[in-house]
């Protein structure tokens, strides 16, 4: 496995997951340089690692400095209007850099490429290359086309592509945790969501290629993998002889069995699809992290119906109860949208009360942003005034902050097994790592002979809303 040093800009607002710290330096053996920036979800980040691998086979090495790059790529997100606006601004900066460096190519990858297709190239002349999420294998040919002055566009979606055979090059990795894509696309059609249009149909990756990638990571010192998909619980893979069916529960078990020292996480679970089998598998394996991201979106059954989420408020609450029954120490987090079409104050109160009921340890919270082409954009009016959306979102954020703080304070006095990820952001004298519940734990290095990638037991002595602080105990 290769690791390259690379800067990868990640916008927290639109990203689910923690940004990585840069490590590892490779000698510069490459003919040309590429620079890549990723926006959006962890899946985009994982895709950038596939793209890096494809480019490296073509003689491209990574650079941190876009001004010296021969190829500048932006892996983009369309989930909310703001995500697209940020990228557009960035593209105008790259256009300037291009004018200063002859021969530089600028390309757009990911969901915005898929959504806008040739528009950014033909009408707005912002980029030279447009490549959708299923077309990365054609990147070398498209670069050649663009170098000879032709249009480099491929936004074809596929029903099969999983890049299962491509060994990703880890970007900006801390060498301890890594994302592993297990599926692509989404069949759910939540009415607010652009993902089914930008990522296409759902398909699951060959289970053995997933296991091999995880084993390879473990052999290279990694101690945590996060299995990625828009809806991991609908993972389903049948081998060619049709004598082996792998469900998500089975896959979890296969990855957990690689080593008790390899932690397994996953994201995202759709509440309608997470099964008892998955919950019992999680409970059975100590190394499957006790952490479920279970986006609720809204606490109002009427809203959930308009959102096409296919569960009710009560159904969701019963799922939370079931998780707590099977794994009392499991943390639960959520995604919430404020101000979806026709949302009343009463619907909003239902959202606040379901947050309180679920006692989320953390949530990603957004106000509704209409996306062209989605079911909601075609069927409903985006009728909640921006200031109302913002006020409701504020109330949600305030409540969640209180719950996060409460959850962290309740951990004071408890001891957690922590996987060390590196120095804490604030001090080289402190380690930072995560508990199984995905909480950040910071503690003094003191005189203990431990290192990044080691597990230690940490007793929590104090807490803030975002971090647990403690000390190593034997």
The response to whether 214 counts as a known ligand-binding position is no
Beta-carbon contacts of 405 under 8 Å, excluding residues fewer than 6 positions away, are 463, 464, 465
Q: Binding partner of residue 177 among ligand F3S, ligand SAH, ligand SF4, none, CB under 5 to 8 Å per kind?
A: none
Q: Which residues pair with 75 in a beta bridge?
A: 38, 109
Cα separation of 66 and 7, whole Å? 10
Mask for 169-198, x = binds ligand F3S (CB under 6 A): -------------------------xx--x
The answer to whether 297 contacts ligand SAH (rule: CB under 6 A) is yes
- Binding residue (CB under 6 A) for ligand SAH from 138, 369, 401, 405: 369
The answer to whether 181 contacts ligand SAH (rule: CB under 6 A) is no
Cα separation of 433 and 414, whole Å? 16
Torsion angle (degrees, nearest 10) of CA 151, 40, 226, 442 = 140
The answer to whether 227 contacts ligand SAH (rule: CB under 6 A) is no
- Between the alpha carbon of residue 3 and those of residues 9, 21, 62, 131, 434, the distances in Å are 17, 13, 10, 24, 23
The answer to whether 250 contacts ligand SAH (rule: CB under 6 A) is no
Of the candidates 71, 18, 9, the one whose C-alpha atom is nearest the C-alpha of residue 37 is 9
Residues 29-48 that bind ligand F3S (CB under 6 A): 40-41, 43-44
The answer to whether 188 contacts ligand SF4 (rule: CB under 6 A) is yes
Select 145 or 370, whichever has its Cβ closest to ligand SAH.
370
Contact 187, 202 (CB under 8 A): yes
Q: Binding partner of residue 196 among ligand SF4, ligand F3S, ligand SAH, none, CB under 5 to 8 Å per kind?
A: ligand SF4
The answer to whether 337 contacts ligand F3S (rule: CB under 6 A) is no
| Size of residue set near ligand SAH by CB under 6 A | 17
**H or E, element range at 224:** strand 224-228
- Binding residue (CB under 6 A) for ligand SAH from 17, 34, 70, 80: 80
Q: Which residues pair with 129 in a beta bridge?
A: 107, 152
- Binding residue (CB under 6 A) for ligand F3S from 170, 199, 205, 452: 199
Select 35 or 235, whichever has its Cβ closest to ligand SF4.
235
Q: Binding partner of residue 438 among ligand SF4, ligand SAH, ligand F3S, none, CB under 5 to 8 Å per kind?
A: none
The answer to whether 333 contacts ligand F3S (rule: CB under 6 A) is no
Own/partner pairs, 97-104, CB within 8 angstroms, 24+ separation: 97/66, 97/67, 97/72, 98/72, 100/67, 101/67, 101/68, 103/70, 103/147, 104/69, 104/70, 104/71, 104/72
What's the number of CA atoms in the CB half-sphere (13 Å) around residue 173?
27
Select 62 or 278, whichever has its Cβ closest to ligand SF4.
278
The answer to whether 142 contacts ligand SAH (rule: CB under 6 A) is no
| Minimal distance, residue 203 CB to ligand SAH, in Å | 15
Contact 284, 252 (CB under 8 A): no
Tokens coding 364 = 């990603």
- Binding residue (CB under 6 A) for ligand SAH from 62, 74, 79, 130: 79
Beta-carbon contacts of 31 under 8 Å, excluding residues fewer than 6 positions away, are 59, 60, 61
- Binding residue (CB under 6 A) for ligand SAH from 20, 35, 39, 192: 192
Contact 191, 237 (CB under 8 A): no
The answer to whether 185 contacts ligand SF4 (rule: CB under 6 A) is no
Answer positive or negative: Cα dihedral of 247, 251, 252, 253.
positive
The answer to whether 269 contacts ligand SF4 (rule: CB under 6 A) is no
Cα separation of 436 and 265, whole Å? 9
Q: Binding partner of residue 80 among ligand SAH, ligand SF4, ligand F3S, none, CB under 5 to 8 Å per kind?
A: ligand SAH
Query: Which stretch, 59-67, 77-85, 350-358, 416-424, contacts ligand F3S (CB under 6 A)?
Result: 77-85
The answer to whether 231 contacts ligand SF4 (rule: CB under 6 A) is yes
| b/e map 331-343, b = 16+ CB within 10 Å | bbbbbbbbbbbeb
Binding residues for [4Fe-4S] cluster: 41, 77, 111, 186, 190, 193
Task: List residues binding ligand SAH (CB under 6 A).
Answer: 79-80, 192-193, 195, 230-231, 268, 270, 295, 297, 335, 337, 366, 368-369, 371
Task: List residues binding ligand F3S (CB under 6 A).
Answer: 40-41, 43-44, 77-79, 110-111, 194-195, 198-199
Task: List residues binding ligand SF4 (CB under 6 A).
Answer: 186, 188-190, 193, 195-196, 230-231, 270
């Amino acid at each position: 496995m290769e690791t390259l040093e690379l800067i990868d800009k990640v916008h927290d607002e639109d990203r689910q997951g923690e940004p990585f710290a840069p490590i590892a330096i490779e000698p510069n053996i490459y003919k040309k340089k590429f620079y890549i920036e990723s926006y959006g979800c962890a899946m985009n980040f994982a895709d950038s690692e596939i793209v890096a691998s494809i480019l490296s086979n073509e003689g491209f090495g990574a650079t941190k400095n876009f001004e010296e790059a021969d190829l500048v790529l932006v892996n983009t997100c369309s989930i909310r209007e703001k995500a697209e606006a940020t990228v557009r601004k960035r593209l105008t900066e790259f256009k300037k850099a291009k004018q200063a460096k002859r021969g530089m190519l600028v390309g757009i990858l990911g969901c915005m490429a898929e959504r806008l297709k040739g528009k950014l190239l033909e009408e707005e002349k912002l980029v030279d290359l447009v490549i959708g999420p299923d077309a990365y294998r054609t990147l070398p040919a498209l670069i050649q086309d663009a170098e000879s002055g032709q249009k480099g566009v491929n936004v074809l979606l596929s029903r099969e592509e999983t890049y299962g055979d491509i060994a990703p090059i880890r970007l900006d990795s801390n060498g301890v945790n890594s994302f592993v894509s297990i599926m692509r696309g989404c069949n759910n059609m939540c009415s607010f969501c652009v993902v089914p249009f930008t990522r296409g149909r759902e398909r699951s990756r060959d289970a053995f290629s997933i296991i091999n990638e995880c084993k390879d990571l473990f052999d290279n010192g990694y101690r945590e993998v996060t299995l990625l998909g828009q809806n991991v619980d609908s993972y389903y893979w049948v081998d060619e002889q049709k004598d082996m069916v792998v469900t998500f529960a089975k896959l979890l078990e296969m990855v957990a069995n690689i080593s008790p020292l390899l932690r397994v996480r996953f994201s995202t679970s759709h509440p309608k699809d997470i099964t008892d089998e998955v919950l019992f598998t999680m409970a059975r394996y100590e190394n499957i992290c006790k952490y479920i991201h279970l986006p609720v979106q809204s606490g109002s059954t009427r809203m959930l119906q308009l959102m096409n989420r296919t569960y009710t408020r009560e159904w969701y609450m019963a799922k939370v109860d079931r998780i707590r029954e099977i794994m009392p120490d499991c943390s639960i987090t959520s995604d919430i949208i404020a101000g979806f079409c026709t949302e009343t104050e009463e619907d909003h109160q239902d959202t606040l009360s379901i947050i309180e009921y679920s006692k989320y340890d953390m949530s990603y919270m957004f106000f509704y942003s209409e996306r062209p082409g989605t079911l909601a954009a075609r069927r409903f009016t985006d009728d909640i005034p921006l200031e109302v959306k913002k006020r409701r979102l504020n109330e949600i954020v305030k409540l969640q902050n209180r719950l996060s703080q409460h959850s962290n304070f309740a951990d004071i006095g408890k001891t957690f097994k922590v996987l060390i990820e590196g120095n804490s952001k604030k001090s080289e004298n402190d380690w930072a790592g995560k508990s199984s519940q995905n909480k950040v734990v910071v503690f003094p290095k003191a005189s203990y002979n431990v290192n990044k990638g080691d597990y230690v037991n940490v007793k929590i002595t104090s807490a803030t809303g975002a971090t647990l602080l403690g000390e190593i105990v034997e």
